[in-house]
């Protein structure tokens, strides 16, 4: 069954909203969505700070769930 499609900007906004509900969104953090084969991936940019493993785990869970719900509109 085909999943609903969202634009990269829509997926980025969904990721950010969910992350803000789960934890504090760090200053200087940005997320971009791009195609990845038959699906999409999220890239995180975080102005040179140390990686927060807990934050990355939460983010990965959010992205995995959204990837299972939505395709990337190309």
Q: What is the mean pLDDT of each run of 10 residues along the chain (74 residues)?
A: 92 93 81 94 77 82 96 91
Q: How many CB atoms lie within 10 A of CB 11?
A: 24
Q: How many CB atoms lie within 10 A of CB 32?
A: 14
Predicted pLDDT at 62: 95
**pTM more than 0.75:** yes
Q: Are 10 and 72 in contact (CB under 8 A)?
A: no
The Cα 58–Cα 2 span in angstroms is 26
* Strand pairing report for 39-46 and 71-72: unpaired
């Amino acid at each position: 069954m085909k999943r609903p499609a969202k634009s990269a900007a829509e997926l980025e906004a969904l990721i950010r909203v969910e992350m803000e509900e789960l934890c504090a969104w760090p200053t200087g953090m940005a997320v971009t969505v791009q195609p990845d084969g038959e699906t999409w991936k999220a890239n995180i940019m975080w102005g040179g700070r140390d990686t927060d493993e807990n934050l990355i785990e939460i983010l990965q869970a959010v992205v995995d769930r959204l990837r299972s719900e939505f395709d990337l509109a190309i």
